[in-house]
């Protein structure tokens, strides 16, 4: 079944990822089903943060996916798959974006989209994934947050449904690449990393330091050159200083 073969529209929900998780418990959802809401009252972001969005202005979307034979060791490909699909449709719209590791999409120094992937694991394989996407479309006021939207960048209103269909179409194109863990997905992800090959300041648990993003390793961890040495960082081990 294609991704987006069924789309359920909700006026309001605590979190579209939670809604999908409840359908999974009830065994009432199939691969490719998408849930889209106008408003999330408790939208989730990475590191336990909250995703803030004005009602009816943006894409708040969760998709239930059952990858074929995707091992836990290759679960980063779900991030590659989603990030590359988002980058591609933004470029088709006319927006040049980059991927702030591990799963935010940035235009310049401002966030335009975020990804939250929740996996169920069985026998060292990804049994299923709940793929959450927040994409700022028409919101103009971000109350001091470091964010932007498609309308802010392009200077015109966009129909959310048209953007969603573009995204689902791109995801269907890339789905086969995910299932065979095609190197092109990782290459596109890596080559579009935010601050790639630029000397910037970062924060670790211990201190601030200067480093250069060089890519990701086989597990999807961030590769960074620090004082001439290549180091790896996990999600909670490093913060970007913007």
Confirm whether 232 is domain-assigned. Answer: yes
Q: What radius of gyration, in Å, describes the C-alpha atoms of the chain?
A: 17
The pLDDT assigned to 189 comes to 98
The pLDDT assigned to 222 comes to 98
Same domain as 207, residue 176: no
* pLDDT, mean of residues 82-100: 98
Residue 60 has pLDDT above 60, yes or no: yes
The pLDDT assigned to 49 comes to 47
The pLDDT assigned to 140 comes to 94
* pLDDT, mean of residues 36-41: 93
- Between CA 23 and CA 18 the distance in angstroms is 9
Show the tokens assigned to 3. 């991704």
What pTM value is reported for the model?
A: 0.94
Same domain as 30, residue 82: yes
* Structural domain ending residue among the three candidates 152, 167, 191: 191
When the pLDDT of each residue in the chain is averaged and rounded to a whole number, the result is 94
Check which CATH number belongs to the domain holding 147 and give it: 3.30.930.10
* Structural domain ending residue among the three candidates 174, 191, 208: 191
Residue 15 has pLDDT above 70, yes or no: yes
CB 62 within 8 A of CB 164: no
Show the tokens assigned to 152. 């802010």
Angle of CA points 93, 94, 97, to nearest 5°: 100
Q: Sign of dihedral through CA atoms 122, 124, 125, 129?
A: positive
Domain of residue 233: give its range. 199-240
The pLDDT assigned to 229 comes to 98
- Between CA 86 and CA 150 the distance in angstroms is 12
Asked if the bond preceding 102 is cis, omega within 30° of 0, the reply is yes
Residue 190 pairs in a beta bridge with none
Please write the tens of the pLDDT for every residue from 151-201: 999 999 999 999 999 999 999 999 999 999 999 999 999 999 999 999 999
């Amino acid at each position: 079944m294609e991704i987006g073969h069924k789309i359920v529209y909700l006026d309001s929900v605590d979190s579209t990822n939670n809604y999908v998780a409840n359908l999974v418990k009830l065994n009432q959802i199939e691969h490719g089903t998408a849930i889209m809401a106008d408003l999330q009252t408790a939208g989730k972001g990475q590191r336990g943060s909250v995703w803030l969005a004005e009602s009816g202005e943006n894409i708040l979307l969760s998709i239930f996916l059952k990858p074929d034979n995707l091992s836990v060791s290759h679960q980063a490909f779900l991030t590659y798959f989603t990030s590359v699909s988002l980058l591609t449709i933004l470029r088709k719209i006319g927006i040049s974006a980059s991927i702030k590791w591990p799963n935010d999409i940035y235009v310049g120094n401002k966030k335009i989209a975020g990804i939250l992937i929740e996996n169920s694991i069985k026998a060292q394989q990804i049994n299923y994934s709940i793929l959450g996407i927040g994409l700022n479309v028409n919101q103009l006021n971000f109350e001091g947050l470091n964010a932007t939207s498609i309308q802010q960048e392009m200077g015109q209103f966009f129909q959310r449904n048209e953007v969603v269909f573009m995204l689902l179409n791109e995801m269907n194109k890339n789905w086969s690449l995910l299932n065979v863990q095609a190197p092109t997905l990782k290459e596109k992800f890596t080559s579009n990393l935010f601050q790639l090959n630029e000397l910037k300041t970062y924060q670790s648990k211990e201190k601030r330091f200067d480093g250069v993003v060089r890519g990701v390793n086989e597990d999807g961890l961030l590769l960074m050159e620090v004082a001439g040495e290549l180091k790896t960082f996990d999600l909670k081990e490093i913060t970007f200083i913007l």
